[in-house]
Structure 1
Amino acid sequence: MTAPVILHTGDPERGTMWQAVFAQGMPEADFRCWPDLGDPSEIRHLVAWTLDPELIARLPNLEVVFSIGAGVDQLDLSLLPPQVRVVRMIETGITNTMAEFVATAALMLHRDMPAYMAQQRDGNWQAHDVLLCSERTVGVMGLGELGRASIARLAPLGFDVLGWSRSETQVAGATCYAGADGLETFLSRTDILVCLLPLTDATRGILCRDLFARLPRGASLINVARGGHLVQDDLILALDDGQLRYALLDVASPEPLPAGHPFYSHPAIVLTPHVAGVTRRETAVHSLLANVRRVLAGEAPDGEIDRGRGY
Structure 2
Amino acid sequence: MAILLYLDKTRSSAWKDAITQAFPELECRTWSEPGDLREIEVLITWKVSTELLSRLPSLKAIFTPSAGVDQINFDEIPESITVVRMINPDLEQQMAEYACAAVLSVYRQFPLYRQQHNAHQWKQQHIAPAHQYRIGVMGLGQQGNAVLNQLATFNFSLRGWARSQHDLSGVDCYAGHNALPDFLEGLDCLICVLPLTDATHHILNRAVFDKLNTGACVINIGRGGHVDEADLMTALQSGQLGHAILDVVQNEPLDEDSSLWEHPNLFITPHIAGITRIDAGFDSIKENLRRMIDHEPFIGVVDKSSTY
TM-score by length of 2: 0.96
Alignment pair present for 1:216 and 2:232: no
Q: Which residue of 1 aligns with 2:204?
A: 207
Q: Which residue of 2 aligns with 1:108?
A: 105
1:62-211 → structure 2 map (5 Å cutoff): 62-121=59-118, 126-211=123-208
What SS does structure 1 have at the residue aligned with 2:153?
A: helix
Q: Which residue of 2 aligns with 1:274?
A: 271
- State the Cα distance separating 1:124 from its structure 2 match: 5.5
Task: Quickly say closer, same or farther: Cα 1:124–1:56, change in 2 above 3 A.
Answer: farther
| Kept in 2: contact 1:135–1:159 (CA 8 A) | yes
Higher deviation after alignment, 70-79 or 196-205: 70-79
- State the Cα distance separating 1:262 from its structure 2 match: 1.6
| CA deviation string 1:3-49 (max 9, x = no partner) | x2111112111111111111121111111111321110110111111
Q: Which residue of 2 aligns with 1:48?
A: 45
What SS does structure 2 have at the residue aligned with 1:44?
A: strand
| CA deviation string 1:32-67 (max 9, x = no partner) | 111321110110111111213332221111111111
Q: Which residue of 1 aligns with 2:287?
A: 290
The one of 23, 48, 54 equivalent to 1:26 is 23
Structure 1: distance between partners of 2:244 and 2:280: 31
Higher deviation after alignment, 244-253 or 13-22: 13-22
Counting matched residue pairs gives 308
Q: Which residue of 2 aligns with 1:230?
A: 227
What SS does structure 1 have at the residue aligned with 2:202?
A: coil
Q: Which residue of 2 aligns with 1:302?
A: 299
| Kept in 2: contact 1:5–1:32 (CA 8 A) | yes
What SS does structure 1 have at the residue aligned with 2:75?
A: helix
- State the Cα distance separating 1:191 from its structure 2 match: 1.1
Higher deviation after alignment, 55-64 or 155-164: 55-64
Alignment pair present for 1:9 and 2:26: no
Structure 2: distance between partners of 1:174 and 1:161: 5
What SS does structure 1 have at the residue aligned with 2:86?
A: coil
Compute the RMSD of aligned alpha carbons: 1.5
The residue identity in structure 1 corresponding to 2:181 is E
The residue identity in structure 2 corresponding to 1:55 is L
Higher deviation after alignment, 243-252 or 179-188: 179-188
Q: Which residue of 2 aligns with 1:245?
A: 242
Structure 1: distance between partners of 2:293 and 2:263: 51
Unaligned runs of 5+ in 1: none
| CA deviation string 1:189-235 (max 9, x = no partner) | 42110001110000001000011111121111000000000000100
- State the Cα distance separating 1:125 from its structure 2 match: 5.2
- State the Cα distance separating 1:118 from its structure 2 match: 4.2
- State the Cα distance separating 1:150 from its structure 2 match: 0.7
* % identity of equivalent residues: 39
Task: Quickly say closer, same or farther: Cα 1:118–1:36, change in 2 above 3 A.
Answer: farther
Q: Which residue of 1 aligns with 2:253?
A: 256
| Kept in 2: contact 1:163–1:174 (CA 8 A) | yes
| Kept in 2: contact 1:151–1:173 (CA 8 A) | no
What SS does structure 2 have at the residue aligned with 1:8?
A: strand
Structure 2: distance between partners of 1:53 and 1:159: 47
- State the Cα distance separating 1:82 from its structure 2 match: 2.1
Q: Deviating runs (4+, > 6 A) in structure 1?
A: none
TM-score by length of 1: 0.95
Structure 2: distance between partners of 1:123 and 1:50: 50
The residue identity in structure 1 corresponding to 2:126 is D
